[in-house]
Every structure is written in C-alpha cells, then in structure tokens.
C-alpha cells in the first residue's frame, strides 16, 4: 500500500511543468510545494495503512482459527460428557450388582475352596471382577478430566475470541479513520492527481504489454498440488525477519502464478479483498496462488513465514517479495519487476524493485 517512486517522480515532473508556466510563478511555486507536502503526508499515511490492513488481516486469520477450534472443541466436549455419563452409569450398575449378588470377599473365597484348583478358579474370578472395577474407575477419571480440560480450553478460547474481535474492530476503525484523512488530502490536490493518474495509466499499459510478452515467451512450469499451512497463530503478527534457510531453495515450480496475477491488472485495491472484485496486497497472493494449488493465509505477515527463503540475487518468477517489515507483498515477475495491489485508490499494477521506496524497504522473498 504505497505510492511508488514513479508516482512521486511523475508528480514532481508535472508540478515542474506547472511552475515553468509564465503566469504568476510565485503562486504556482507555492502550490507545487503544498502538493509535494501533501503527497509526502499521503505516502506516510499509506505506510501506516499497510501495517493496519495487514494487522487486520492477521487478526481475521486468528479469529477464523479460533472459531474453528471452538466448534471442534464444543463437539468433543459433548462427546466427553456423553462418555462420562456412560461411565457413571456403569459405576451405578456395578454397585447395584455387588449389592445384590452377595459376592464373597477374597478371604471367604480362599476359606471356602474345596481344592487347589477350586481356589485358583475362585481367585481368578475375584481378580477379573477387580480388573473390571479398575477399568470403570479409570474411565470415569479420564472422562471427568477431559470434560474439565475441554471446559477450560473453551473458556480460554472464548476470552481470546473476544479479544481478537475487539482488536479487529479497533483496526477497522483506525483504517477507516486513516482512509478518510487520506481522501481529504487527495481532494485538495485532485487536479494534479488526475494528470498523474493519466500518466501512470499509460506507463502501466506499457509495462503490462511487456510482462505479458515475457510470460508468453517462457514455458510456464507446471504447478504442484502442495498446500502451505499457516504457522500457529499468536497474539501478535510474526516477526518479519526469519532466519535464511541453510540451503538454497528449490527451483520455483509456480511461475504460472505470474500469468494469473497479470490477468487482474487494473482491478481496484480493496482492503481485506481477495477476489477479482478487489484485492489488497496479501489477498492478491491468496487468490493467485490458489489457482496453482498453493493455499496461503490472508496475511502478509504469515505468508512471510511460509515456503523457503530466497536471496534477492536468486529471485525467480512466482516468488513472493516483501516490503515495509513484511506489511506489503507482491509477486515477482522477472526483470526486476513485480505485480502487486499497492494501496487504496490504486489498482493491481507492476512496479520495480529498483524504485526508491521498494528498494529501501525490501524485507525479503519466499518461494512456495
């Protein structure tokens, strides 16, 4: 979620043209400075929105996991309670049986034996009864402990669920507030922005033609059906600096994802989006990689901890490239470029790793 260097450069160029106009150079120079200042504010806002949106996505993944765990645990708790009730009934039946059967105790069994063989049979009978009583007792204890344990887990999960729901609500409110402020700033320089948008559209059309030609000229690798599983969730997004793998990553087998992602160039950015109606940065990866059989969580922080580490010098089409502390992600397409969903108000587009912001905030790459 960022304005790229190209956007800033185009703005500077456009404003320079305005300043060069002979009419009222002082006023125009002031207007140019105001627009540049506002653009810098919008850029900083986009960096914070990056983090807020992906923190929201991370909380959503957590909440979905908690909801699934709660549903499964409720079923297991019901089963444990049924088993405990059955075990209690067996205890009651056993007590009734002992009370009504007038079974002799062990001493009576020994004294009443008529022979050594009779004694062995009597003792064996008592031991079998004792073993059955032990099994019943063990079952009652086990099922009672399971009920208690599952009740505790259920209560803890419900507390965690409430906390994550509250966190999500806070994230949403923060995002919506930042978006409103961002829109207000954009409206104040809308004339300059419209000129820049036209120039950016033309540049993106050229980059798209080049990227599609590149995809056509290379034989796409077949995709495996592997599934990436998200790591265990915690209360905070994972650290954005995993240790590099001790060995080089295997060759990319998912270069076909590039063609999928390029198909959606021009689709508008929508935070929380993971469909052709709108994508955020991690949502574009979720959707595109699913098309080649790789299933990722909708969180750039979690995506950053899946797959294998890839050195920047070894990037291949289909690798995921991360920026800004792993709060932004795109799909490498080759030639130093990547496709991504940048920020609110923009569309799925192609950018370069060499652009200043992406180069300075590059966080690493992963191969799935």
98 band by pLDDT with thresholds 50, 70 and 90: low
**pLDDT, tens digit, 9 for 90 and up, residues 55-68:** 888 888 888 888 88
Highest mean pLDDT among 86-95, 185-194, 246-255, 358-367: 358-367
The overall average pLDDT reported for the chain is: 75
Identify which has the larger pLDDT, 337 or 88: 337
Least Cα distance to 308 among 245, 232, 216 occurs for 245
Cα separation, 147 vs 86, in Å, equals: 13
7 band by pLDDT with thresholds 50, 70 and 90: very low
224 band by pLDDT with thresholds 50, 70 and 90: very low
261 band by pLDDT with thresholds 50, 70 and 90: very high
Task: Answer whether 339's CB lies under 8 Å from 333's CB.
Answer: yes
24 sits in which H/E element: none
* Exposure class string for 231-261: b at 16+ Cβ within 10 A, else e: eebeeebbebeeeeeeeebeebbbbbbbbbb
pLDDT of residue 29: 52
Name the pTM for this structure.
0.56
Where do we find the tokens 């397409």?
333
Lowest mean pLDDT segment, chosen from 90-94, 123-127, 249-253, 278-282: 123-127
Catalytic positions, written as ranges = 281, 328, 340
């Amino acid at each position: 979620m960022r304005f790229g260097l190209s956007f800033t450069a185009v703005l500077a160029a456009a404003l320079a043209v305005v300043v060069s106009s002979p009419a009222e150079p002082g006023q125009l120079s002031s207007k140019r400075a105001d627009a540049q200042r506002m653009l810098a504010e919008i850029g900083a806002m986009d960096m914070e929105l990056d983090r807020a949106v992906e923190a929201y996505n991370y909380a959503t993944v957590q909440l979905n996991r908690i909801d699934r765990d709660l549903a499964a645990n409720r079923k297991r708790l019901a089963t444990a309670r049924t088993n405990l009730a059955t075990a209690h009934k067996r205890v009651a039946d056993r007590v009734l049986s002992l009370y009504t059967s007038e079974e002799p105790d062990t001493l009576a069994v020994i004294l009443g034996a008529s022979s050594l063989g009779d004694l062995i049979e009597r003792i064996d009978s008592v031991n079998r009864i004792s073993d059955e009583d032990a099994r019943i007792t063990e079952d009652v204890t086990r099922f009672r402990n399971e009920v208690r344990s599952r009740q505790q887990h259920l209560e803890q999960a419900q507390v965690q669920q409430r906390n994550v729901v509250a966190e999500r609500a806070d994230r949403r409110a923060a995002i919506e507030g930042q978006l409103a402020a961002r829109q207000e700033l954009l409206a104040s320089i809308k004339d300059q922005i419209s000129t820049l948008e036209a120039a950016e559209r033309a540049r993106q059309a050229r980059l798209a033609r080049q990227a599609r030609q590149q995809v056509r000229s290379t034989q796409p690798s077949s995709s495996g059906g592997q599934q990436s599983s998200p790591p265990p969730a915690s209360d905070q997004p994972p650290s954005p600096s995993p240790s590099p793998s001790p060995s080089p990553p295997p060759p990319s087998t998912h270069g076909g994802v590039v063609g999928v992602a390029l198909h959606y160039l021009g689709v508008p950015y929508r935070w929380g989006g993971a469909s052709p109606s709108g994508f955020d940065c991690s949502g574009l990866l979720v959707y595109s990689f699913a098309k080649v059989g790789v299933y990722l969580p909708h969180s750039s922080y979690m995506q950053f901890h899946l797959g294998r580490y890839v050195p920047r010098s070894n990037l291949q089409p289909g690798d995921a490239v991360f920026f800004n502390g792993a709060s932004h992600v795109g799909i490498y397409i080759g030639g130093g470029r990547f496709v991504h969903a940048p920020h609110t108000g923009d569309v799925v587009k192609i950018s370069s790793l060499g652009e200043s912001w992406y180069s300075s905030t590059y966080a690493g790459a992963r191969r799935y």
